[in-house]
Amino acid sequence: MASIGIDIGQAKTLLEDEQVVGIPTETVYGLAGNALSEHAILKIFEVKNRPKFDPLIAHTNSIRKANILFKTIPQKATQLAEAFWPGPLTLLLNKKEVVPDLLTSGHSRVAIRIPNHPLTLELLSQLNFPLAAPSANPFGYVSPTSARHVDDQLGEKVPYILDGGESLVGVESTIVGFEKMKPIVYRLGGITLEALEHVVGPLEIAVNASSNPSAPGMMKSHYSPGKKLIIGDIAHLLSAHNSTTTGIISFSKGFDVPLENSFILSPRRNLNEAARNIFKALRKMDAPHIKVILAEYLPEKGLGRAINDRLKRASI
Ligand code: TXA
Ligand code: MG
């Protein structure tokens, strides 16, 4: 069990000592360590059991501090940073020497974001280094949206978790990189495509599932609830399954299964609410009596795209 609290001083002391700390963000909880310390980065990989070819995001609390990490920034990246930071947007920018290769898995670009959570922004403002922070779950498993989730899975390996309440967005940041100055979306997330396009015009999307390590952030199988998940027409699928051992993740409608087998993402069909709930729903389906999970795609717009992406990866 980790110690859980709101003591920024304690988190700071541990991080300055190159240890790892669970931190809240508006997207999901992160497992943080000094992004400029190889020792701390190695610790993150070890605690998460994450392969070293999957690079980490560096978090800062200001564009001025982010400047230390990247060489150049395309104009459209500046526009996006100004529009969405602090917030659920990660930018891939050409890294400076000071950024350890371990953080970027040897890639020439570093992933950077300014998270929008008061506790973590305060912590970052008190530190003189950025924080590397992948989602605070064992590699491949569902991302955590509360301190409790972090404690449940990594508590034994993490000395302290800063408790900032439930994550208000609920899905990870949108990742945008640039090729020949053109923006490309590598991961669908908390900033919608519509919002990005409003600022920089049409974008290319390159989030096709792949297990190719040279395409980081696009790990084919991820967010795994540890059992079979089938996506389709729930009513139809349910007719061929035993309702006592079947879990159901639906958008707004209830189905004829026991209450403890069902998670309705948003009875009022609100995609933001559904995003806040998606990882909680996948976690609920971890209950041992559930043998198979049935789910349905949400409307492919707004945060629905990121939710559908997570469901798809959880189903592989
Ligand atoms: O919302 C978020 O982004 C959360 C919170 C904690 O900030 N963090 C998060 O980190 O989702 P993680 O490690 O679970 O996912 C980051 C993704 C990875 O899939 C990684 O491959 C990709 O970002 N990534 C990181 N650095 C990269 C780089 N230099 N080039 C390409 N992809 C990168
Ligand atoms: Mg993750």
- For residue 265, report the phi and psi dihedrals to the nearest 5 degrees: -70, -40
pLDDT for 218: 57
pLDDT in tens, 150-186: 999 999 999 999 999 999 999 999 999 999 989 999 9
User: Cα dist. 237→173, 229, 234, 292, 295 in Å?
Assistant: 32, 11, 5, 11, 9
Residues 6+ apart with CB under 8 A from 222: 140, 310, 313, 314
- Rounded to whole angstroms, the Cα distance separating 85 from 102 reads 25
Give the mean model confidence (pLDDT) for residues 111-132: 98
Query: HSE on the CB side for 257, CA within 13 Å?
Result: 29
Cα(201) to centroid of ligand 2, in Å? 28
Ligand 1 pocket: which residues have CB below 6 Å? 25, 27-28, 30, 54-57, 88, 90, 92, 104, 107, 109-111, 113, 115, 133-135, 172-173, 175, 216-217
- Give the Cβ contact number of residue 126 at 10 Å: 14
**Which pLDDT score is estimated for 225?**
78
Task: Please tell me the residue having the least CA distance from ligand 1 atom 15.
Answer: 134
Contact 132, 80 (CB under 8 A): no
Ligand 1 atom at shortest distance from the alpha carbon of 217 = 19
pLDDT at 219: 63
Using the mean position of ligand 2's atoms as its centre, give its distance from the Cα of residue 48 in Å. Answer: 10
pLDDT for residue 110 is more than 60: yes
pLDDT band for position 5 (cuts 50, 70, 90): very high
pLDDT score at 222:
72
Pocket test for ligand 1, best of 60, 154, 172 (most atoms within 8 A of CB): 172
* Percent of the chain whose predicted confidence (pLDDT) is above 90: 92
Residue 175 CA: nearest ligand 1 atom is 23
Give 27-72 pLDDT, tens digit per residue.
999 999 999 999 999 999 999 999 999 999 999 999 999 999 999 9
Q: Give me the pLDDT at residue 195, please.
A: 98
Nearest to 113 by CA among 185, 25, 36: 25
Q: What is the pLDDT of residue 44?
A: 98
Residue whose C-alpha is closest to residue 190's, from 260, 138, 116: 116
Residue whose Cα lies nearest atom 17 of ligand 1: it is 217
Q: What is the mean pLDDT of residues 275-299?
A: 97
Give the amino acid at 40.
A
Separation between Cα atoms, residue 163 and residue 134, nearest integer Å: 17
Q: Give the Cα separation of 129 and 108 in Å (integer).
A: 20
129-138, 223-232, 259-268: least confident range: 223-232
- Indicate whether 257 pLDDT > 50: yes
Q: Is the predicted pLDDT of residue 212 greater than 70, yes or no? A: no
